[in-house]
Structure 1
Amino acid sequence: MAGSNNDKTVLVTGGSGFIAVHCILKLLQQGYSVRTTLRSMNRQTEVHGMLKNGGITSFDNLSFIKADLTDDENWNEAVKNCEFVLHVASPTPAIKFTHEDELIKPAKEGVIRVLKASRNAGVKRVVLTSAYGAIGCGHENRKTPYTEKDWTNLQAKIHPYQKSKTMAEKTAWDFMRDEGGSLELATINPVAVMGPVLGEDFSHSQQMIRQMLEGKVVACPKIDSCYVDVRDVADLHLLAMTSPKAKGERFLATTGNALSMFDVAKILTRRLGDDAKKVPTKELPNWKLRLAALKNPSLKMLVALLGQYAQASGEKAKELLNWSPRSNEEAIVATAESLFRLGLIKG
């Protein structure tokens, strides 16, 4: 398939990010010309390094442009002559913030900047990387798997990061309804993303795996989550980019099988042998996590997930786009093995 798409240019926003790099990798492998945004052009070498770790040997079809979601500069130039845009960049969960708007405002304003520039440039379709956090938070007494028809309850007490993802996606759909013109939109809503790490910039979900392997997690919080491999998330972005069936649709990226953190720990122990000797072997009482979060703000988002139903369905993507994700176990083990391979496990 490589070479068949070299007359098509795709913009990927936030090119140094974990999901974005895997999307760029997949696009280059399929012969697309790729332009990607960076907030700092000093990270070009880092992106090249991650792509090399993923098997890319030529960067002839890759270019960089400086652009920031909080600034109008260069967005019109970034989307120029692009057929598609993968808007992957997003503010990441901040440990310390004085007001939730520090997360919400850049997420909303950023998506508007990208959509406006894309519409004005005649881009065919934008694929927005949203999140499970825009679907499955703030619901009480849930007993059936979440689907793309669900939206996070903004009236509930939820973490500002989840609120920012929800409001950013709602802003995108509102823009499309009112001002989208001929532009098309699809969104991808990944659950906790695992899979091969290509460099030191990886998802906050994977930090949990590293902390387990380094012995920094003494016991597993009683939190359930669905998981998905980043390679499958990238595949789904490309399917949503090109398939006529994806126009105007949301897609949950999930294997559909929720695991507890203790289940994850048991997978690591079973599959990694001595490399998993520091992985926790017991669960943490809820009251201990709540107490620890009073002193450590980074734990507050975990506290909000205690006792939450987390089952989510990936059937829509499988049926509509013929998407076929790897298993939870394969994704989790691939994360751990890549962390060791790149020397990112300390101690």
Structure 2
Amino acid sequence: MSDTVLITGITGFIAKWVARDLLKAGFSVRGTLRTAAREKEVRDTLTAEGADTSGLAFAVADLTSDKGWAEAAAGCRYVQHIASPFPLNQPRGREDLVPGARDGALRVLKAACDAGVERIVMTSSMVAMTYRANRPRHLVVRETDWTDPDWPPCTPYIISKTRAERAAWDFMTDRGLAGKFTVVNPAFVLGPAMDKDSGTSLDAIALIMRGTYPALPPVHFPIVDVRDLSRLHVATMTADVAGRRLIGAGETWSLKRMAGELRAAFPAYAAKIPTREMPAFFVHLLGLFDRPVRALRADMGVVPVADSQETTALTGVTFRPAAEAVRAAGETLIRFGLV
């Protein structure tokens, strides 16, 4: 079997970094796309980032359809399932994102298992670990923690990531193949993007830099730089971590602290960047009309801190300071004219 790695959703913010790092490490990469029309764009982007794209190939497959997945996985030694829906504007129905995330994951896992791959790495999220009733204000999040998707404050995105990961573990366990499966649970992903396809996390930073809101919701998030997250995905593929969940996260910062870092780093934007936090009651009120703000109500009153010691001990991957990730995100948005 060749050292070919299937990456789902290769046009994505995280997936392009994983593809770059795998190509630089000497692996061949086969990336899935919903349309072949984007092949040249992806190849050019990765070439500009210093990757030798002679080992890059593509397969057309969509998470909403069975078509193409068997062919995409055939002959691959590893699978990196990274693609999943993450809209900034949450849909109205609590379960609306579940079919795309859960059924898409199961399509990829079935194709990978049928192809006899050696290791499957799936990108989930820390949101599948963090949300449930009666949380302490200072919440230490560990690999054994699970979100309760039936908890009323959970958003459609939180629900979809949790149900998709649960379904994936059930599928692999039922097949007796959990020992070939590892899940990476990243935090709020910032850092540099390779192109304008910058990911929803950077869209949130763009809202801050544009001054979309006069004040910021008083919420906190663990942060991971996409470059460290990519290194974690690559390390997870060959490290002795099968059958485990791995947290990908560094420091926890509030949106207000992120805004302060952006003001200091980019003085030309300082006048637009808010300096104050919204009162809690106003967040709830604004959330009645504003979906991005509504999605943050589940984060009110809790400071989640990621315990990533196990991840570092098992993979050797460490996480750079949040300030570096925040500044790199701002630089990306300015570079590509997104703010």
TM-score if structure 2 supplies the norm length? 0.94
| Equivalent residue number for residue 162 of structure 1 | 158
Q: Tell me which moved more, 275-284 or 324-333.
A: 275-284
| Equivalent residue number for residue 35 of structure 1 | 30
Q: Is the 8 A contact 1:94 1:103 kept in 2?
A: no
| Equivalent residue number for residue 330 of structure 1 | 324
Aligned pairs (5 A) from 1:169-318: 169-181=165-177, 184-243=180-239, 245-255=240-250, 257-318=251-312
Aligned pairs (5 A) from 1:46-57: 46-56=41-51
CA distance in 1, matches of 2:26, 2:188: 29
Q: CA deviation at 1:180?
A: 4.2
Q: Compared with structure 1, are the counterparts of its residues 45 and 190 closer, same or farther at alpha carbon in structure 2 (3 Å cutoff)?
A: same
| Equivalent residue number for residue 97 of structure 1 | 91
Q: Compared with structure 1, are the counterparts of its residues 289 and 39 closer, same or farther at alpha carbon in structure 2 (3 Å cutoff)?
A: same
Q: CA deviation at 1:15?
A: 0.7
Map Cα deviations across residues 233-255 of structure 1 (whole Å, 9 max, x no partner): 11000111011x21111001001
Q: Secondary structure at the match of 1:161?
A: helix
Q: Is the 8 A contact 1:118 1:183 kept in 2?
A: no
Q: Secondary structure at the match of 1:91?
A: coil
2:39 corresponds to 1:75 = no
Q: Compared with structure 1, are the counterparts of its residues 262 and 96 closer, same or farther at alpha carbon in structure 2 (3 Å cutoff)?
A: closer
Instruction: Specify every segment of 5 or more residues in structure 2 that has no aligned partner in the other structure, as ranges.
Output: none
Aligned pairs (5 A) from 1:4-15: 7-15=2-10
Map Cα deviations across residues 19-78 of structure 1 (whole Å, 9 max, x no partner): 11110111111111100111122222332343244333x421111111011111010000
CA distance in 1, matches of 2:16, 2:256: 29
| Equivalent residue number for residue 103 of structure 2 | 109
2:13 corresponds to 1:18 = yes
Q: CA deviation at 1:267?
A: 1.1
Instruction: Specify every segment of 5 or more residues in structure 1 that has no aligned partner in the other structure, as ranges.
Output: 1-5
Q: Compared with structure 1, are the counterparts of its residues 208 and 96 closer, same or farther at alpha carbon in structure 2 (3 Å cutoff)?
A: closer
Residue in structure 1 matching 2:126, options 103, 123, 132: 132
Q: CA deviation at 1:96?
A: 5.4
Q: Tell me which moved more, 46-55 or 229-238.
A: 46-55
Amino acid at match of 1:43: R
Q: Tell me which moved more, 179-188 or 210-219.
A: 179-188
Q: Is the 8 A contact 1:88 1:128 kept in 2?
A: yes
CA distance in 2, matches of 1:171, 1:230: 26
Q: Name the Cα RMSD after superposition.
A: 1.8
Q: CA deviation at 1:273?
A: 2.7
Q: Tell me which moved more, 58-67 or 190-199.
A: 58-67
Amino acid at match of 1:337: E
Q: Tell me which moved more, 147-156 or 304-313.
A: 304-313
CA distance in 2, matches of 1:183, 1:122: 13
CA distance in 2, matches of 1:19, 1:84: 17
Q: Tell me which moved more, 170-179 or 267-276.
A: 267-276
Q: CA deviation at 1:100?
A: 3.1
CA distance in 2, matches of 1:63, 1:90: 21
Q: Is the 8 A contact 2:90 2:157 kept in 1?
A: no
Q: Compared with structure 1, are the counterparts of its residues 290 and 50 closer, same or farther at alpha carbon in structure 2 (3 Å cutoff)?
A: farther
Identity %: 36
| Equivalent residue number for residue 339 of structure 1 | 333
Q: Is the 8 A contact 2:169 2:178 kept in 1?
A: no
TM-score if structure 1 supplies the norm length? 0.92
Amino acid at match of 1:40: T
Q: CA deviation at 1:183?
A: 6.4
